């Protein structure tokens, strides 16, 4: 039987506020345990929550960015359960009336057709503290620094049908929250994570199968692997006559498998009810319009503009605009290059420079090669001063902090062979050294031209201009035709 | 000295007839002498009171004083006080020292008042007799074998026994007014949102409200004026200027429209209490008020609605007491779950556990609509009844409680009869209205309270009416016989 996976995501994005959602304590990551938790975060007797207005602004931005309904009136509710790192014995969240409902996103995966994901709702809530089991043998310690950190939970409809689609959607949401500046998107620090609801059904069926919820996936790779594992697990189970249990499962990245955490029967009754300590959040049309006016250009719009304005293909424009920092870098660089060849700029940024950044796990914000420096190099490529090969060397040198483009070209002697006599000589030497290839070329096997060009390039130490070399060889051999 | 009103004390302090230190010492001496029989205090903070008295004397000498500077008071042990245990009458918190002051405490400190100590109360303010306190029951100064009412029974008994001129208190379903009635004093519960709840240990957040107990409405007016006002740390506090309550006390009551709900004179009402209330209404008539019947048809639903809403909120509010960060922690638990379970089993008393269970039940999946949601709908009806009544009336009056103070232990095994002590008061909390209780006579030597209910933010009018009545009566000046 053919099976269709059905996947919905609940993405938790930590909102990039300076203070917590209901208190004045700082949200900075990595502080000494329990130094950023005030009486309100600790749930001491008598304290009360006061909503951080910045959190509301950010949620509205997100709602507008996904073309959703921003609720005129939304309500905070208490989600009641006991856990040692949940200070009050309840989490303040939103339940019946969330701040954002009914949005959608168009997603274009790396391979496969574009698809739409409907966003059911996005609601505000506070994060809990963190239990530390490993560091203290036989004991549990709790760090409450994270307690009260603002989160927006973005709940999708089950509109995805492969792990790849789920990851593409998650990347899209990631790009949007980063574009909006409402989340730093740092997945290692847990600022952006998700739960995945996964079920399978016979292809063509419209009813949903029983789902498993995969908890707390904090990298794109884990999302993909956990979902793939889970789909396979469910297929094997169903095909061997078993049934899928509705349960919560954890992904173990070391073993690359998911395992049961708790079943539906063990699921908590959260006893949600409106939090009497907080007033309903009332959002006026004026407030929404004021925020709309501050929205930055979003990935889709920017991709469209890049195609129009710079004549870039959908692929390259898509790659560039996937991250706001990269798109900003591109625009800054291209404005400084003394050439209209936007594709050249785009290729260097998405290719060579992105590779450097990836090796060091840096983002474009932290790139040691500034747009000015890269623009200097691209200008030299465009005016023929350096070849592509030599430019890669130049970029590596700039990356290592050895100066701007002109100075590294000079210092490493990377300028192309411009003296035609020298080039002539190099071509002659190469042809003389490879008589059989010359013979083949003349016999109509023009494919060997590449080999001959390569020989000249090698002899010149990469300094020759391959296009000129190719032209010269052709001129020579075609002229001498018998 | 102990029988002086706040106004007399102000005058004496200003005229340097006595110092705040002398006044404070005399209160502390009286506490020392009498509270052994009343058990109205959980903690006495003599040193802190005297330090505040010395500071107040310096302010008085500089001429930098307000109406309450140098005057002692007691705080109900539900208000957090920095550096002093805030037990809430519970074993769960008998070791809890808050690192902050409640806004109410902060404001009264700033007014120059001297905190003598913290008063006894029903555990987590759940009760109507102050018998559920972990620290033992409070005795009514009019008859030591009887309860003072509750939950603010410690504050009420202390004010009645002249241990303090003023005491803070809280009211979730009648916890200011019912003990005020049973102890023969004046108590006012302001409009929900008038007094900050920050630092008030929560029982039922949508109903809890801090207020003040005093012997007279005039004294209460000074106390409330200093406590009330917007607080940005409490989202439910209302941003609205505070009236000058003492300034309007002398206003005439001519033409004041008083509504008397027939639902408050049902079978459960002690005929003696009904008679005293009738006599009090006649006094208001002589003061120029117009009295007529009114109906609050949903009033009989107040108790059932209250006993769904309040436990629901309580079950959630009290979840933070898990022994992890503060409060009672069970010893030698072998794992986390057991630690939480045992800490809560040991830390909470019977009535608190009963309400947590009821509250958990009414919020559970499958029961939420039938109980919690239905109660919220009826709560709106109860509110609407009042609003309809206020179209034609300025103040609604009736008995505060159906009977006078009962014997210790009389109702402890019968929670329903205990809950019915608040049959006339809970509706006010459900609607968020301000209300007061003032003494209007005795039945068998025990005080009777008149309940005055105003529309939102009509505290000034309630105090004005109460004060005018007290100009025509001396019930509020009577001293309890059981002590001295």
Taking only the tens of pLDDT, chain A with its 482 residues reads 799 999 999 999 999 999 999 999 999 988 999 999 999 999 999 999 999 999 999 999 999 999 999 999 999 999 999 998 999 999 999 999 999 999 999 998 888 899 999 999 999 999 999 988 887 877 889 999 999 999 999 999 999 999 999 999 999 999 999 999 999 999 999 999 999 999 999 999 999 999 999 999 999 999 999 999 999 999 999 999 999 999 999 999 888 889 898 887 777 899 999 999 999 999 999 999 999 999 999 999 999 999 999 999 988 999 999 889 999 999 999 999 988 889 999 999 999 999 999 999 898 989 999 999 999 999 999 888 888 888 999 999 999 999 999 999 988 888 877 666 777 888 888 888 888 888 888 888 888 888 888 888 887 777 777 777 888 888 888 765 54
Digit-coded pLDDT (tens) for B104-116? 999 999 999 999 9
CA–CA dist A388, A373 (Å, integer): 16
- Dig out the tokens for A247 from the structure: 């349960």
Residues 6+ apart with CB under 8 A from A168: A107, A108, A109, A110
Q: In what order do the strands lie in the sheet with A273-274?
A: A90-94, A76-80, A273-274
Q: Do A44 and B236 touch (CB under 8 A)?
A: no
DSSP H or E stretch at residue B135: none
Q: Do A84 and B312 touch (CB under 8 A)?
A: no
CA–CA dist B148, A236 (Å, integer): 70
Residues 6+ apart with CB under 8 A from B419: B128, B303, B307
Give the chain A residue nearest B315 (alpha carbons).
A80
Q: Is residue B412 part of a domain?
A: no
Beta strand pairing call for B395-399 and B435-443: unpaired
- Dig out the tokens for B104 from the structure: 């109410």
Residues 6+ apart with CB under 8 A from A276: B204, B205, B206, B236, B313
Closest CA to A337 of A296, A292, A301, A383: A383
Digit-coded pLDDT (tens) for B332-341? 888 888 999 9
Q: Do B340 and A82 touch (CB under 8 A)?
A: yes
State whether the Cα torsion B479-B482-B483-B484 is positive or negative.
Answer: positive
CA–CA dist B5, B166 (Å, integer): 10
Q: Of the listed B4, B20, B40, B76, which one is catalytic?
A: B76
Average pLDDT over residues B457-469: 98
Confidence band of B164 (pLDDT split at 50, 70, 90)? very high
Q: Is residue B454 part of a domain?
A: yes
**Which pLDDT score, from 0 to 100, does residue A110 have?**
80
**Which pLDDT score, from 0 to 100, does residue A482 have?**
47
Q: Is residue B317 part of a domain?
A: no
**Which pLDDT score, from 0 to 100, does residue A474 have?**
84
Q: Do B198 and A49 touch (CB under 8 A)?
A: no
- Dig out the tokens for B401 from the structure: 């409680």
Best interface-test mutation with B: which of A47, A133, A148, A278 has the largest number of B CBs within 10 A? Answer: A47
Residue B100 main-chain phi, psi, to 5 deg: -150, 160
Q: Who among B201, B205, B316 is closest to A45 (CB)?
A: B201
Q: Do B235 and A276 touch (CB under 8 A)?
A: no
- Dig out the tokens for B137 from the structure: 């029951």
Cis peptide before B151 (omega within 30 of 0): yes
CATH of the domain at B239: 3.90.1300.10
Cα atoms in the Cβ-side hemisphere of radius 13 Å centred on B414: 8
Which of B291-316 are b and which e, b meaning 16 or more Cβ less than 10 Å from the residue's Cβ? beebebebbebbbebbbbbbbbbbbb
- Complete domains list, chain A, with CATH: 3-290 (no CATH), 299-411 (no CATH), 420-479 (1.10.10.410)
State ipTM. 0.96
To the nearest whole angstrom, how far is the Cα of A151 from the nearest Cα of chain B? Answer: 20
Q: Name the 3-class secondary structure at B473.
A: coil
CA–CA dist A182, A117 (Å, integer): 21
Contact B76, B166 (CB under 8 A): no
Longest pairwise C-alpha distance within chain B: 70
Q: Of the listed B40, B132, B133, B175, which one is catalytic?
A: B175
DSSP per residue, B29-50: HHHHHHHHHH--EEEE-HHHHH
**Which pLDDT score, from 0 to 100, does residue A479 have?**
66
User: From start to end of B17-123, where are the E strands?
Assistant: 41-44, 72-76, 114-119
**Which residues in chain A are contacts of B168 at CB distance < 8 A?**
none
Residues 6+ apart with CB under 8 A from A49: A21, A22, A23, A40, A92, A275, A277, A278, B235
Q: Look at chain B and report how many structural domains it folds into.
A: 1
Residues 6+ apart with CB under 8 A from B200: A46, B78, B79, B80, B102, B104, B170, B208, B210
Average pLDDT over residues B150-159: 98
Q: Name the 3-class secondary structure at B441.
A: strand
What's the angle, vertex CA B371, arms to CA B369 and CA B373, rounded to 5? 50
CA–CA dist A43, B163 (Å, integer): 34
Contact B57, B19 (CB under 8 A): yes
Closest CA to B451 of B471, B425, B477: B425
**Which residues in chain B are contacts of A47 at CB distance < 8 A?**
100, 198-199
**Which residues in chain B are contacts of A265 at CB distance < 8 A?**
none
Is B155 catalytic? The answer is no
Q: Which residues of B touch A (CB under 8 A)?
A: 79-80, 86, 88, 93, 96, 98-100, 102, 197-202, 204-206, 232-236, 312-313, 315-316, 318-322, 324-327, 336, 340, 360, 363-365, 368, 372
3-state secondary structure chain A: CCEEEEEEEEEEEECCCCECCCCCCECCCCCCCCCCCCCCCCCCCCCCCCCCHHHHHHHHHHHHHCCCEECCEECEEEEECCCCCCCCCEEEEECCCCCEEEEEEEECCCCCCCEEEEEEEEEEEECCCEEECCCCCCCCEEECCCCCCEEEEEEECCCECCHHHHHHHHHHHHHHHHHHCCCCCCCCCCCEEEEEEEEEEECCCCCCCCCEEEEEECCHHHHHHHHHHHHHHHHHHHHCCCCCCCEEEEEECCCCEEEEEEECCCCCCCCCEECCCCCCEECCHHHHHHHHCCCCCCHHHHHHHHHHHHCCCHHHHHHHHCCHHHHHHHHHHHCCCCCCCHHHHHHHHHHHHHHHHHHHCCCHHHCCCCHHHHHHHHHHHHCCCCCHHHHHHHHHHHHCCCCCHHHHHHHCCCCCCCCHHHHHHHHHHHHHHCHHHHHHHHCCCHHHHHHHHHHHHHHCCCCCCHHHHHHHHHHHHHHCCC
Q: Do A46 and B99 touch (CB under 8 A)?
A: no
Q: Is residue B452 part of a domain?
A: yes
Q: Is residue B347 part of a domain?
A: no
pLDDT of B280 over the 90 cut: yes
State whether the Cα torsion B223-B226-B230-B235 is positive or negative.
Answer: negative
DSSP H or E stretch at residue B189: strand B186-189
**Which residues in chain B are contacts of A276 at CB distance < 8 A?**
204-206, 236, 313
CA–CA dist B73, B289 (Å, integer): 34
CA–CA dist B179, B140 (Å, integer): 9
Q: How far is CA A481 from the centre of its chain?
A: 56
Give the chain B residue nearest A267 (alpha carbons).
B365
Between chain A and chain B, the number of residue pairs with CB atoms below 8 A apart is: 102
Q: What is the dihedral of CA B228, B234, B236, B242, to 10 degrees?
A: 20
- Dig out the tokens for B66 from the structure: 């307000």
**Which residues in chain B are contacts of A50 at CB distance < 8 A?**
232-235
CA–CA dist B79, A16 (Å, integer): 35
**Structural domain that includes position B161:** 6-252+435-477
Looking at residue B206, the DSSP 8-state letter turns out to be: T
Q: Name the 3-class secondary structure at B153.
A: helix
Confidence band of B395 (pLDDT split at 50, 70, 90)? very high
3-state secondary structure B321-372: CCCCCCCCCCCCCCCHHHHHHHHHHHHCCHHHHHHHHHHHHHHCCCCCHHHH
Q: Do A45 and B96 touch (CB under 8 A)?
A: yes
Residues 6+ apart with CB under 8 A from A42: A87, A144, A147, B325
Q: Do A50 and B325 touch (CB under 8 A)?
A: no
Q: Is residue B311 part of a domain?
A: no
Q: Who among B198, B236, B360 is closest to A46 (CB)?
A: B198
Digit-coded pLDDT (tens) for B400-424? 999 999 999 999 899 988 998 899 9
Q: Do A44 and B312 touch (CB under 8 A)?
A: no
Q: Do B313 and A276 touch (CB under 8 A)?
A: yes
Residue B235 main-chain phi, psi, to 5 deg: -60, -20
**Which residues in chain B are contacts of A45 at CB distance < 8 A?**
80, 86, 88, 93, 96, 98, 201-202, 320, 326-327
CA–CA dist B151, A477 (Å, integer): 108
Q: Is residue B403 part of a domain?
A: no
Contact B465, B256 (CB under 8 A): yes
CA distances A255 to A190, A227, A230, A244, A258, Å, are: 21, 14, 13, 21, 9
Q: Do A43 and B325 touch (CB under 8 A)?
A: yes
Q: Do B368 and A42 touch (CB under 8 A)?
A: no
**Which pLDDT score, from 0 to 100, does residue A446 have?**
81
Looking at residue B373, the DSSP 8-state letter turns out to be: I
Is B4 catalytic? The answer is no
- Dig out the tokens for A334 from the structure: 């291209």
Beta bridge partners of B305: none
Is B151 catalytic? The answer is yes
Q: Who among A51, A269, A273 is closest to B312 (CB)?
A: A273
Beta bridge partners of A201: A4
Q: Of the listed B151, B152, B302, B343, which one is catalytic?
A: B151
């Amino acid at each position: 039987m053919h099976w269709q996976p059905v996947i919905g995501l609940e993405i938790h994005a930590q909102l990039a506020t300076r203070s917590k959602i209901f208190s004045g304590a700082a949200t900075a990551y990595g502080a000494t345990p329990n130094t950023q938790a005030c009486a309100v975060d600790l749930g001491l007797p008598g304290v009360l929550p006061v909503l951080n207005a910045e959190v509301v602004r950010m949620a509205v931005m997100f709602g507008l960015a996904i073309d959703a309904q921003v609720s005129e009136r939304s309500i905070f509710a208490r989600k009641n359960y006991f856990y040692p790192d949940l200070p009050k014995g309840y989490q303040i969240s939103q339940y019946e009336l969330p701040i954002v409902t009914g949005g959608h996103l168009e997603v274009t995966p790396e391979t496969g057709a574009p698809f739409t994901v409907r966003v059911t709702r996005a609601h505000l809530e506070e994060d809990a503290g963190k239990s530390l089991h490993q560091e203290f043998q036989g004991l549990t310690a709790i760090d409450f620094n994270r307690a009260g950190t603002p989160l927006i939970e973005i709940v999708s409809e089950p509109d995805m049908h492969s792990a790849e689609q789920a990851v593409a959607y998650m990347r899209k949401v990631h790009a949007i929250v980063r574009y909006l500046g409402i989340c730093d998107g740092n997945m290692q620090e847990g600022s952006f994570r998700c739960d995945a609801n996964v079920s399978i059904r016979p292809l063509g069926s419209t009813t949903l199968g029983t789902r498993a919820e995969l908890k707390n996936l904090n990298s794109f790779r884990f999302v993909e692997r956990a979902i793939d594992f889970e789909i396979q697990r469910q297929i094997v189970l169903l095909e061997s006559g078993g049934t899928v249990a509705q349960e919560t499962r954890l992904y173990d990245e070391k073993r690359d498998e998911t395992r049961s955490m708790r079943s539906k029967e063990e699921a908590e009754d959260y006893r949600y009810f409106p939090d009497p300590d907080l007033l309903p959040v009332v959002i006026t049309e004026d407030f929404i319009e004021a925020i709309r006016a501050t929205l930055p250009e979003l990935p889709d719009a920017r991709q469209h503009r890049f195609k129009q304005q710079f004549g870039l293909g959908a692929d390259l424009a898509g790659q560039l605009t996937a991250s706001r920092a990269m798109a900003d870098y591109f625009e800054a660089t291209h404005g400084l290059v003394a050439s209209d060849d936007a594709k050249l700029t785009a290729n260097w940024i998405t290719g060579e420079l992105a590779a450097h950044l990836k090796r060091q796990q840096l983002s474009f914000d932290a790139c040691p090669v500034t747009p000015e420096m890269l623009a200097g190099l691209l200008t030299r490529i465009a005016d023929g001063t350096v070849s592509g090969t030599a430019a890669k060397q130049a970029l590596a040198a700039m990356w290592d902090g050895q100066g701007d483009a002109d100075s590294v070209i000079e210092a490493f002697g990377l300028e192309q062979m411009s003296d035609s006599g020298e080039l002539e000589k190099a071509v002659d030497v190469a042809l003389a050294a490879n008589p059989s290839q010359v013979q083949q070329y003349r016999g109509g096997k023009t494919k060997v031209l590449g080999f001959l060009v390569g020989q000249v390039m090698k002899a010149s130490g990469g300094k020759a201009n391959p296009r000129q070399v190719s032209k010269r060889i052709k001129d020579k051999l075609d002229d001498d035709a018998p | 000295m102990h029988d002086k009103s706040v106004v007399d004390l102000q005058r004496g302090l200003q005229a340097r007839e006595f110092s705040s230190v002398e006044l404070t010492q005399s209160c502390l001496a009286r506490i020392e002498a009498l509270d052994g029989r009343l058990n109205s205090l959980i903690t006495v903070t003599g040193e802190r009171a005297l330090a505040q008295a010395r500071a107040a004397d310096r302010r008085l000498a500089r001429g930098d004083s307000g109406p309450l500077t140098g005057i002692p008071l007691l705080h109900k042990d539900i208000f957090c006080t920095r550096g002093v245990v805030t037990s809430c009458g519970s074993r769960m918190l008998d070791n809890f020292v808050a690192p902050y002051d409640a806004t109410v405490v902060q404001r009264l400190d700033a007014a120059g008042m001297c905190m003598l100590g913290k008063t006894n109360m029903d555990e987590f303010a759940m009760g109507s007799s102050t018998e559920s306190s972990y620290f033992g029951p409070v005795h009514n100064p009019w008859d030591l074998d009887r309860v003072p009412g509750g939950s603010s029974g410690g504050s009420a008994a202390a004010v009645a026994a002249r241990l303090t001129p003023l005491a803070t208190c809280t009211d979730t379903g009648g916890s200011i007014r019912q003990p005020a009635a049973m102890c023969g004093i004046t108590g006012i519960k302001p409009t929900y949102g008038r007094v900050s709840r920050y630092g008030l240990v929560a029982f039922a957040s949508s109903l809890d409200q801090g207020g003040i107990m005093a012997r007279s409405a005039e004294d209460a007016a000074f106390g409330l004026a200093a406590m009330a006002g917007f607080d940005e740390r409490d989202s439910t506090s209302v941003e609205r200027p505070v009236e000058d309550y003492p300034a309007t006390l002398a206003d005439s009551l001519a033409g004041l429209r008083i509504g008397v709900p027939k639902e408050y004179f049902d079978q459960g009402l002690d005929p003696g209490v009904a008679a005293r209330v009738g006599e009090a209404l006649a006094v208001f008539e002589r003061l120029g008020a117009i009295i007529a019947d009114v109906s609050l048809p949903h009033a009989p639903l107040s108790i059932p609605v209250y006993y769904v809403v309040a436990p629901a909120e309580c079950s959630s509010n009290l979840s933070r007491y898990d022994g992890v960060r503060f409060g009672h922690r069970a010893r030698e638990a072998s794992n986390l779950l057991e630690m939480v379970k045992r800490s809560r089993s040991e830390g909470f008393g019977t009535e608190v556990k009963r309400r947590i269970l009821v509250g958990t039940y009414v919020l559970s999946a499958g029961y939420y609509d039938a109980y919690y949601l239905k109660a919220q709908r009826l709560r709106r009806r109860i509110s609407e009844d009042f609003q309809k009544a206020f179209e034609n009336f300025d103040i609604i009056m009736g008995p505060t409680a159906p009977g006078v103070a009962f014997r210790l232990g009389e109702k402890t095994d019968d929670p329903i009869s205990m809950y019915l002590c608040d049959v006339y008061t809970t509706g006010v909390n459900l609607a968020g209205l301000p209300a007061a209780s003032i003494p209007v006579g005795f039945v068998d030597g025990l005080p009777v309270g008149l309940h005055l209910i105003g529309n939102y933010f009509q505290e000034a009018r309630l105090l004005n009416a109460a004060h005018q009545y007290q100009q025509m009566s001396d019930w509020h000046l009577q001293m309890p016989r059981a002590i001295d």
